[in-house]
Each structure stands twice: as C-alpha cells, then as structure tokens.
Amino acid sequence: MTRLLHVGAAQLGPIQQSDDRASVVIRLIELLRQAKAAKCELVVFPELALTTFFPRWFVDDIATTDHWYETEMPSAVTLPLFLEAKRLEIGFCLGYAELTPQGERFNTQILVERDGSVVAKYRKVHIPGHETNEPDRPFQHAERYYFTPSAEGFGVWKAFGGRMGMMICNDRRWPESYRVMGLQGVEMILCGYNTPMHYVPDPTQDVLQGFHNALVMQSGAYQNGTFVVGVAKGGVEEGVLGLCDSSIIAPSGEILAKTVTTGDELVSAVCDLDWCKQYKETLFDFDKYRRPEVYGRITAQRGAVLD
Ligand code: CDV
C-alpha cells in the first residue's frame, strides 16, 4: 500500500526591514505556483515568513513592535495567499508572529488545507535566546522578550492523508519535540527555521550549524519513523547570515531533497507516508520496545490524533 504526499519545501531568502508584507506575499505566491507546477499538494514556508527576523533588535517598549505581529489570519494583506492556494488546490504551512486579543505574543505556525481552511495551529514551545538587552552582542536574539513559550505542547493532526505535526526552529534541536509527536503516531513533521550562522554565546558552533541542523532533523526523523520537512529563511538579512539547507527527510533518516541556494527556492519530494510503518512497526515499535517504566514517561499532551 502507498499513501503518496508530494510536499514542497519553500525556502525564503532574506526579508529586509524595508520589505513590506505585500511584497513578501508576492514571493510566497510565486513559490506556491512553482510548487503547483511541480505537482506538490503541500508547501512548507519558514518560521516568521512574513517579516524580517525582528528579535535581532531590542526595543524598550514592546508595544512599538506590534506591527511585526499578525492579529488575524488571514488578514487583508495575507488573503491573496489563501485565495491563490485555494484556487490552485494546494495546502501550505506558514510561520508568523501572532498577537492575540488578550495581548499574548506567540511564534506561531499554521497548517492550511487545500480548500483554504486552517486545520491546525502550533505555537513554539522552546523559545531560545534572551529576555533583556545584551548590547555587547553584534546582534540580539531576544525571542524570549518577544514571545511567550506555548503551554499547549505538540499536537498531531489528521490532514493531507496522514498524521501531520508541527514544530518551529529551536524545537528541532530537542528530542522531546519529535518523541511527543512520535507517541501520537506522527508521519510528517513540518518545521520552519531562522538560524543565524553566528551563534554568539559559543562561536565554536558556527562552523557546525549545517551539521547540527542535519544531525537533529535526520535523527529525529529516523528515531520516530517520520518524515521531517525543515525549511529555512536564510541568506544575509539585515547584515546577519542565516543558515539555508532546507531539506525533506525520510523516516530512514535519509535526505530526499535539499536546497542549494541562499535565496527563494523550492525543492520537493514525493513522500510515501506508509514508509513510516517500516520503522514504527520494526526497530521503533514503541509499544513493544520502549521502556518508560525504566526511564520515565513522556506524555502526548494534546492527544489530538487518536484512532
Ligand atoms: N529561531 C530560532 O529558534 N533560532 C535558534 C538559534 C537562536 C539557536 C535555533 O535553534 O536555530
């Protein structure tokens, strides 16, 4: 049996502070059209795909940064993306900064079905960086100032003929992110990221950025018998070089497709979701081989997907 899902990783090159959302939406629509031409059914865009990575700047009054956040989705400016996706009958996954009516700020990603409906929303759990201004840095990574960590955890949703999960950037470095979704039977994890090549707290890691990116996503895929689609916003954004290397990874841990540029680029792969079973029902048969009574339990908090 085969359950084929043709997925696209739609990498974005840099978005500068001067680039308005409308111009970014035009780029997203162009990638959507390329994906349709390649016969993709689902396209994955990066983390914070509508704006520059604004946590690189610190401001004293966070209210002055409200313009970086979305208060509704779709909004007037993002509606053309939703309409074009619906017209083309192609789904997408989009990361953006969310400001709720209650004034909470989240780093958010949504999954949109081929009919334009939002089927899932995920808010970033692992928020990296720092809370206060660190003026000695060449650039800030003040995500902990700009975003509240989600208390909702990792969900898995039945969509696109399979069990879809989401995580955002730093989440991909933590084995728990994959395992909590693995315990819910995830078959494809969608992950957008913005990763500066220069890691200020420990620059010895700079040359390892590409290696660590591949290491965590390939091992997370293999150890949980799932596809992983990791998609970058990279290139030189406001003087900061960001990692690219967007990739589509199989449950075997092998890379099926990978970008080669530092700009807007689409790569795609036909993913047989039944491939996951080969790992979930053999080496990584969790029910048979895991020993939570020995090393503790990880619970699937949301329990969104159950037979
Ligand atoms: N956007 C991110 O979450 N970036 C982090 C950096 C700060 C380490 C990452 O894990 O790639």
Per-residue pLDDT of 17-27, as tens digits, reads 999 999 999 99
Percent of the chain, pLDDT > 90? 95
CB–CB of 266/229 below 8 Å?
no
Compute CA 122 distance to the chain's CA centroid, rounded to the nearest angstrom. 10
What pLDDT, on a 0 to 100 scale, did the predictor assign at position 300? Answer: 62
Residue 303 binned pLDDT confidence (cut-offs 50, 70, 90):
low
pLDDT, mean of residues 139-143: 98
CB–CB of 242/233 below 8 Å?
yes
Token reading at 103: 């004034």
What pLDDT, on a 0 to 100 scale, did the predictor assign at position 307? Answer: 36
d(CA 9, CA 143): 24
d(CA 227, CA 90): 19
Q: Is the pLDDT of residue 187 over 50?
A: yes
Rounding to the nearest 10 degrees, give the CA dihedral for residues 200, 204, 207, 211. Answer: -100
272 SS3 class = strand
What pLDDT, on a 0 to 100 scale, did the predictor assign at position 233? Answer: 98
Residue of 109, 115, 75 lying closest to 91 (CA atoms): 115
Give residue 38 CA to ligand 1 midpoint distance, Å: 30
Token reading at 63: 């209210």
Token reading at 92: 């997408």
Which of 170, 197, 215 best tests ligand 1's pocket when mutated (most atoms within 8 Å of CB)? 170
d(CA 190, CA 132): 30
What pLDDT, on a 0 to 100 scale, did the predictor assign at position 298? Answer: 78
Query: Which sequence positions are flagged as catalytic?
Result: 47, 124, 169
What pLDDT, on a 0 to 100 scale, did the predictor assign at position 296? Answer: 85
Give residue 99 CA to ligand 1 midpoint distance, Å: 20
- Is the CB of 195 within 6 Å of ligand 1? yes
Q: Tell me which DSSP letter residue 55 carries.
A: G
What pLDDT, on a 0 to 100 scale, did the predictor assign at position 306? Answer: 38
d(CA 51, CA 62): 16
What's the chain's average pLDDT?
Answer: 96
The count of other CB atoms within 10 Å of the CB of residue 294 is: 6
> How big is the chain, counted in residues?
307
Which of 53, 173, 195 best tests ligand 1's pocket when mutated (most atoms within 8 Å of CB)? 195
Q: Which fold has domain 4-306?
A: Nitrilase/N-carbamoyl-D-aminoacid amidohydrolase (3.60.110)
**pLDDT, tens digit, 9 for 90 and up, residues 9-48:** 999 999 999 999 999 999 999 999 999 999 999 999 999 9
Q: Is the pLDDT of residue 301 over 70?
A: no
Q: Is the pLDDT of residue 50 over 90?
A: yes
Tell me the DSSP string of 100-169: -TTS-EEEEEEEE-TTS-EEEEEE-S---S-SS--TTSSS---HHHH-PPPSS---EEEETTEEEEEEEG
d(CA 144, CA 32): 32
What pLDDT, on a 0 to 100 scale, did the predictor assign at position 289? Answer: 98
Q: Is the pLDDT of residue 304 over 60?
A: no
What pLDDT, on a 0 to 100 scale, did the predictor assign at position 32? Answer: 98
More confident residue, 300 or 250: 250
Q: Is the pLDDT of residue 278 over 80?
A: yes
pLDDT, mean of residues 87-111: 98
